[in-house]
């Protein structure tokens, strides 16, 4: 069963951009949070430090994910049996 989203969806041509945005966001969120906690400890200032590191890392990760996605898809197609 497919549920229709009441929000207007983006055209297909934005798929690569949206994929890179979400992929980078999730990866940076998890990695920056875990590394911040490991390197500086867990205390009441962790969320602020985490957010600051996220703000530094995301602008690097997003364009990187956008650029490498087509290459990673081709590499994956070579490795995985269709």
Could you give the residue ranges of the DSSP H alpha helices within the chain?
A: 15-40, 46-79
Tell me what pLDDT residue 82 has: 73
Tell me the whole-structure pTM to 2 decimals: 0.81
Question: Burial level of 32, CB count in 10 A (0-12/13-18/19+)?
Answer: buried
Q: Which residues contact 62 (CB under 8 A, 6 or more apart)?
A: 20, 21, 24, 25
Give me the average pLDDT of each 10-residue run along the chain (82 residues): 79 95 97 96 96 97 97 95 80
């Amino acid at each position: 069963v497919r549920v229709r989203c009441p929000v207007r969806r983006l055209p297909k041509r934005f798929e690569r951009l949206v994929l890179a945005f979400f992929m980078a966001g999730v990866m940076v969120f998890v990695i920056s949070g875990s590394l911040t906690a490991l390197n500086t400890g867990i205390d009441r200032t962790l969320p602020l430090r985490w957010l600051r590191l996220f703000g530094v890392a995301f602008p690097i990760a997003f364009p990187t994910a956008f650029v490498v996605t087509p290459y990673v898809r081709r590499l994956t197609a070579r490795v995985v049996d269709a």
